[in-house]
A and B are shown apart, each in its own frame.
Chain A
Amino acid sequence: MADIPNPKFSRRGFLKGAGVTAATTVIESANALARETKSALEHQQAVGPDAFPIKLSVNGQEHSVTIEPRYTLAETLRDNLNLTGTKVVCDRGSCSACTVWIDNIPKLACMTLAIDTVGHKITTIEGLSHGDTMHKVQAAFVKHDAMQCGFCTPGMVMSCAALLERNPNPSLADVKHAVSGNLCRCGTYPKIFKATLDVAQQRNKTAGLVSLAGGREA
Chain B
Amino acid sequence: MALDSLIPVNDGEQSPGSPAKPEPATRTENLIWGIPQDGLQRKERKVPVDEPPPLPPNSELAYIGKPTPRYDGPAKVMGKGKYTADIHLPGMLYASMVDATVAHGRIVSIDTSAAERLPGVRAVHVIEHLYGVAELRDPSQETPSRYPVVRYAGQPIAGVAAVSQQIANDAAKLVKVQYDTMAFVVDRSDARAEDAPVVFPGPADAAGSAGGGGGPKNVPQKGNVHGPQRKTVGDVEKGFAEADVVVEGEYFTQVQTHSALETHGFVVDWKPDEVTVYASTQGTSSVRDEFSEVFKLPKSKVRVITEYMGGGFGAKFGAGNEGVVAANLSRKANAPVKLMLDRRQEHMVANRPDSHQALKIGAKSDGTLTAIQLTSYGTAGVGTGAGTAGPAANLYRCPNLLTEEYDVFINAGPGAAFRAPGHPQGCFAFEQAIDELAVKLNIDPLALREKIDESPARRAERRLILERTNWKNRRPAGADTGPIKRGMGIAQSVWYRFVNMNSSCEVRVSRDGSVELMSAVQDLGTGTKTMLAIVVAEEFGIPPSDVVIRIGDTRFPIGPDSGGSVTTGSISPSSRNAAYQAKQQFFAAIAPQFGTTPDNLALRDGRLILKNDASRSYTLKQAAAKLPTAEISAKATRAPEYAKERLTYGGVDYVELAVDTETGRVHVEKVFGAHDCGRPINPLGVISQINGGILQGISYALFEQRIMDRSGGYMLNANLENYKILGAREVPEIEVELVENYIAQSSTDAAGIGESAGIITLAAAIGNAFYNATGVRMRKIPMTPANVLTALGKVQEVQA
Contact = CB atoms under 8 A, between A and B. Distances in A.
A85 interface: yes
Nearest to A72: B166
B729 interface: yes
Contact of B309 (A84, A87, A97, A149): A149
A124 B80 CA distance: 12
B73 A145 contact: yes
B79 A124 contact: yes
6 A-B pairs closest in CB distance: A85-B79, A149-B525, A187-B692, A187-B695, A150-B76, A151-B310
Nearest to B67: A145
B692 A176 contact: no
B606 interface: no
A182 interface: yes
Contacts of A79: 88, 94, 164-165
A190 B86 CA distance: 27
Contacts of B726: 187
23 contacts: A71-B166, A84-B82, A86-B79, A92-B343, A94-B720, A125-B77, A126-B80, A134-B77, A142-B69, A142-B77, A145-B69, A147-B76, A147-B688, A148-B526, A148-B527, A149-B310, A149-B311, A151-B310, A153-B77, A180-B727, A182-B727, A189-B728, A193-B728
Contacts of B88: 79, 82, 84
A148 B524 CA distance: 8
A145 B684 contact: yes
B261 A191 contact: no
Interface string A140-170: 0111010111111110010000000000000
Contacts of A185: 259-261, 311, 313, 696, 725
B342 interface: yes
B50 interface: no
Nearest to A195: B77
A55 interface: no
B78 A125 contact: yes
Most A CB within 10 A of own CB, among B69, B165, B692, B721: B692
B72 interface: yes
Given A147-B688, A187-B692, A217-B733, 16 more contacts: A68-B166, A75-B166, A79-B165, A84-B79, A90-B721, A92-B343, A94-B721, A95-B261, A124-B79, A125-B77, A142-B70, A145-B70, A148-B311, A148-B526, A186-B525, A218-B731
B308 interface: yes
B147 interface: no
Contacts of B102: none
Contacts of A88: 85
B725 A176 contact: no
A150 B308 contact: yes
Nearest to A83: B79
Interface residues of A, number: 62
Nearest to A191: B688
Most A CB within 10 A of own CB, among B94, B311, B524, B687: B311
A18 B343 CA distance: 24
A56 to B, nearest CB: 17
A188 B94 CA distance: 31
Given A134-B74, A142-B73, A186-B692, A150 B525 contact: yes
Contacts, number: 177
A7 to B, nearest CB: 22
A191 B82 CA distance: 23
Contacts of A138: 74, 77-78
Given A94-B721, A187-B693, A180 B166 contact: no
A70 interface: yes
B86 A78 contact: yes
B394 interface: no
Interface in A170-218: 175-177, 179-193, 217-218
A151 B83 contact: yes
Nearest to B684: A145
A183 B85 CA distance: 18
A176 B165 contact: no
Contacts of A188: 688, 691-692
B689 interface: yes
B70 A147 contact: yes
Interface string B684-717: 1101110111111000000000000000000000
A148 B80 CA distance: 15
A189 B720 CA distance: 17
A89 B684 CA distance: 26
Given A134-B74, A179-B728, A148 B692 contact: yes
Interface in A74-114: 75, 78-79, 82-92, 94-95, 97
A145 B260 contact: no
Contacts of A90: 343, 719-721
